[in-house]
């Protein structure tokens, strides 16, 4: 009781290429949390030396408390990565189960959508343990037009809040808008760990876009 741990991934080196990570996971008693999404360009087929630099921290505090660790250690884990050539259409399995749409919709909550005085937008969405892996392209529909915002992935253990500062997406009038999440296999293919994902579209109507005055 009163103890927790955190495991932070700094980066992964594949051959001569270093991939920044920034993910983390942790636990306390019977509870756990964690989130990592890795986007990386593909490597040609072959075998590559693999190194992962991580930091392990032990804290005398409940999980999520902002206190210094009582013990920590930087570790480098080494292995070999074998890259096999594969058709892009075969890399990600699409789960065609439209009956999961309502559960997925409940796992997405938009906490903030605000237009700033400089014309940019602040957007925050909470993604909480969807019933299936997701790879979405997110857009806003307003005034008969669509404005692309960002792409993201999430797995069934994801419990995270994503906050974005968006520039150059166009002028969206404040008021009620529609946010659309469309599944996109190419987004999943850019990750190193998402090999299956839900196929479909989630629509959130009547999302309030507020405006921050000067």
For the chain, give the mean pLDDT.
Answer: 89
Tally of residues, the chain: 214
Bigger pLDDT: 72 vs 1: 72
The percentage of the chain sitting over the pLDDT mark of 90, rounded to a whole number, equals 58
Report d(CA 102, CA 132) in Å as an integer. 12
pLDDT for the residue numbered 10: 86
Taking the domains of the chain in order of start, what are their residue ranges?
A: 4-85, 90-211
Angle (CA) 163-105-93 rounded to 5° is: 95
pLDDT for the residue numbered 37: 58
Per-residue pLDDT of 83-115, as tens digits, reads 877 777 778 999 999 999 999 999 999 999 999
Backbone angles phi, psi at 105, to 5 degrees: -60, -40
In 3-state terms, what secondary structure has residue 98?
A: helix
Enumerate long-range contacts of 95-98, CB under 8 Å, 24 or more apart.
95/132, 95/133, 95/196, 95/197, 95/198, 95/199, 96/199, 96/200, 97/132, 97/198, 98/200
Task: Identify the CA nearest to 103 among candidates 136, 126, 138, 129.
Answer: 129
Through-space distance between the first and last CA atoms of the chain, rounded to whole angstroms: 48
Q: Which residues pair with 139 in a beta bridge?
A: 148, 180
Q: State the DSSP code for 119.
A: S
The percentage of the chain sitting over the pLDDT mark of 70, rounded to a whole number, equals 93
Angle (CA) 26-28-30 rounded to 5° is: 110
pLDDT for the residue numbered 26: 82
CB 54 within 8 A of CB 74: yes
Task: Identify the CA nearest to 202 among candidates 132, 143, 119.
Answer: 132
Q: How confident is the model at residue 63 (pLDDT cuts 50, 70, 90)?
A: confident
Per-residue pLDDT of 166-199, as tens digits, reads 888 889 999 999 999 999 999 998 887 889 999 9
Check whether 157 has a pLDDT greater than 70.
yes
CATH class entry, domain 90-211: mainly beta
Report d(CA 87, CA 83) in Å as an integer. 13
Check whether 39 has a pLDDT greater than 80.
no
């Amino acid at each position: 009781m009163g103890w927790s741990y955190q495991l932070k991934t700094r980066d992964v080196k594949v051959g001569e290429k270093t991939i920044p990570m920034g993910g983390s996971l942790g636990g306390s008693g019977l509870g756990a949390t964690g989130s990592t999404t890795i986007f990386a360009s593909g490597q040609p087929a072959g075998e590559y030396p693999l190194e992962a630099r991580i930091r392990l921290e032990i804290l005398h505090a409940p999980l999520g408390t902002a206190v210094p660790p009582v013990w920590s250690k930087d570790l480098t884990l080494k292995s070999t990565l074998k890259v096999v050539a594969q058709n892009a259409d075969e890399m990600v399995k699409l789960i065609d189960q439209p009956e999961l749409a309502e559960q997925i919709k409940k796992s997405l909550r938009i906490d903030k959508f605000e237009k700033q005085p400089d014309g940019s937008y602040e957007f925050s969405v909470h993604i909480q343990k969807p019933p299936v892996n997701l790879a979405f392209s997110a857009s806003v529909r307003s005034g008969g037009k669509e404005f692309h915002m960002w792409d993201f992935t999430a797995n069934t253990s994801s419990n995270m809040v994503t906050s974005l500062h968006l520039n150059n997406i166009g002028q969206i009038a404040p008021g009620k808008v529609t946010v659309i999440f469309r599944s996109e296999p190419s987004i999943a293919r850019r990750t190193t760990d998402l090999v299956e994902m839900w196929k479909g579209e989630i629509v959130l109507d009547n999302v309030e876009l507020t405006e921050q005055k000067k």
